[in-house]
């Protein structure tokens, strides 16, 4: 019997050229697969995320997002990359579409060469206490003296600890030797957070409101991603943290440089809307480049 095979596309997101940015596999026709089968395919691709979109209905479509270790409710570069692939394949044609995922409805807009997601802020807690920030910095090889402002927990579907440090410290940091799960209880005490991810967004800021330049590195060891080259979900949460910490009190724009230390340079374009010193809408945009397409064999369904 011939094994069932599914079509896939591989794209690089948040880059204007192939072999940079963040890799994404988009697997088509997988709506009949079990969670275990999707997970096996994501582990086979072994990118930070792989997606499994369902059939598009007009200007909306569902998708599931998997890291090599688990399914997650939302992520930035999979959202942009999946929308771009579906448009290239003719499954969607509108300049504005809606992605249905675990975090709810995410707006996606095409603007020339860029794709932009729009998400509603969900979690914001902080500032994070100095002792906890010190311990988190030690996990990535840094010291309390490297800190350069208030740290916040923030996210619009996935929540990160956003820790500002000096530019030199961003370069000097290294991935943690283990997950950050041991800090979950202490982070929960900072404030109510529903979407906490085992992750740190380490960043340095230059410039002044309403436009900032950011150098960022994101470590997500708890879901099998020691370091991520371009993280749209972290970029969305960063906009919230920048408003809360007073760097963009009335909202504004920020461009993020990420992935340089990994040899996969990425550029993320963020903007945040704010009212009364609190973010009300987060937007993250970037370019997408095709790399490969093909077919992959469907893993066997596990029999219990």
Q: Do domains 5-119+288-297 and 123-284 have the same CATH topology?
A: yes
User: What percent of the chain lies above the pLDDT cut of 90?
Assistant: 84
Tens-digit pLDDT profile for residues 105-131: 999 999 988 999 999 999 999 999 999
User: Does 1 have pLDDT greater than 80?
Assistant: no
Structural fold of domain 123-284: Diaminopimelate Epimerase; Chain A, domain 1 (3.10.310)
189: pLDDT strictly greater than 50: yes
SS3 letters across the chain: CCCCEEEEEEEEECCCCCCCCEEEEEECCCCCCCHHHHHHHHHHHCCCEEEEECCCECCEEEEEEECCCCEECCCHHHHHHHHHHHHHCCCCCCCEEEEEECCEEEEEEEECCEEEEEECCCEEECCCCHHHHHHHHHHCCCCHHHECCCCEEEECCCEEEEEEECHHHHHHCCCCCCCCHHHHHHHHCCCCCCCEEEEEEEEEEEEECCEEEEEEEEEEHHHCEEEECCCHHHHHHHHHHHHHCCCCCCCEEEEEEECHHHCCCEEEEEEEEEECCEEEEEEEEECEEEEEEEEEECCCCCCC
Q: Which CATH number fits domain 5-119+288-297: 3.90.480.10, 3.40.50.880, 3.40.50.300, 3.10.310.10?
A: 3.10.310.10
Query: What are the φ and ψ backbone dihedral angles of 78, each rounded to 5 degrees?
Result: -65, -35
Residues 177-182: what's their mean pLDDT? 84
From 20-29, 83-92, 179-188, 268-277, the region with the lowest mean pLDDT: 179-188
Q: What is the pLDDT of residue 222?
A: 83
Cβ 203 vs Cβ 170: under 8 Å: yes
- CA 283/CA 31 separation, integer angstroms: 28
Segment 253-268, tens digit of pLDDT = 999 999 999 999 999 9
- Distances in whole angstroms, Cα of residue 295 to Cα of each of 45, 254, 289: 12, 38, 19
304 pLDDT band, cuts 50/70/90, is very low
How far apart are the two ends of the chain, measured CA to CA in Å? Answer: 23
Task: Judge whether 37 and 301 are in contact, CB under 8 Å.
Answer: yes
Higher pLDDT, 26 or 102: 26
Spans of all domains in the chain: 5-119+288-297, 123-284
pLDDT at 22: 97
Separation of alpha carbons 140 and 16, rounded Å = 29
Residue 47's closest CA among 63, 30, 64, 67? 67
* Average pLDDT score, the chain: 94
């Amino acid at each position: 019997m011939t094994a069932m095979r599914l079509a896939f596309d591989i794209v690089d997101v948040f880059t204007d050229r192939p072999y940079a940015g963040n890799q994404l596999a988009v697997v088509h026709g997988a709506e009949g697969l079990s969670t275990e089968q999707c997970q096996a395919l994501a582990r086979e691709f072994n990118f930070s995320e792989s997606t499994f979109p369902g059939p598009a209905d007009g200007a909306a479509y569902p998708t599931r997002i998997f890291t090599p270790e688990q399914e997650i409710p939302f992520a930035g570069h999979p959202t942009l990359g999946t929308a771009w692939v579906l448009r290239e394949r003719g499954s969607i044609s509108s300049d504005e579409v809606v992605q249905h995922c675990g975090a709810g409805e995410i707006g996606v807009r095409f603007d020339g060469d860029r794709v932009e997601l729009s998400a509603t802020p969900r979690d914001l807690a902080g500032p994070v206490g100095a002792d906890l920030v010190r311990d988190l910095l030690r996990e990535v090889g840094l010291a309390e003296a490297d800190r350069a402002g208030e740290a916040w927990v923030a996210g619009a579907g996935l929540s990160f600890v956003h820790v500002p440090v000096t530019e030199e410290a961003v370069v000097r940091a290294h991935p943690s030797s283990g997950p950050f799960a041991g800090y979950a209880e202490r982070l929960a005490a900072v404030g109510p957070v529903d979407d906490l991810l085992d992750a740190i967004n380490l960043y340095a800021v230059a410039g002044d409101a309403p436009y900032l330049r950011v150098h960022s590195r994101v470590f997500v060891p708890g879901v099998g991603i020691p370091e991520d080259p371009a993280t749209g979900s972290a970029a969305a949460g960063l906009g919230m943290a920048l408003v809360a910490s007073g760097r963009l009190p009335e909202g504004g724009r920020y461009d993020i440089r990420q992935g340089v230390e990994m040899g996969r340079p990425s550029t993320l374009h963020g903007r945040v809307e704010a009212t009364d010193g609190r973010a009300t809408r987060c937007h993250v945009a970037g370019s997408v480049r095709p790399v490969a397409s093909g077919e992959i064999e469907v893993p066997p369904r596990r029999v219990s």
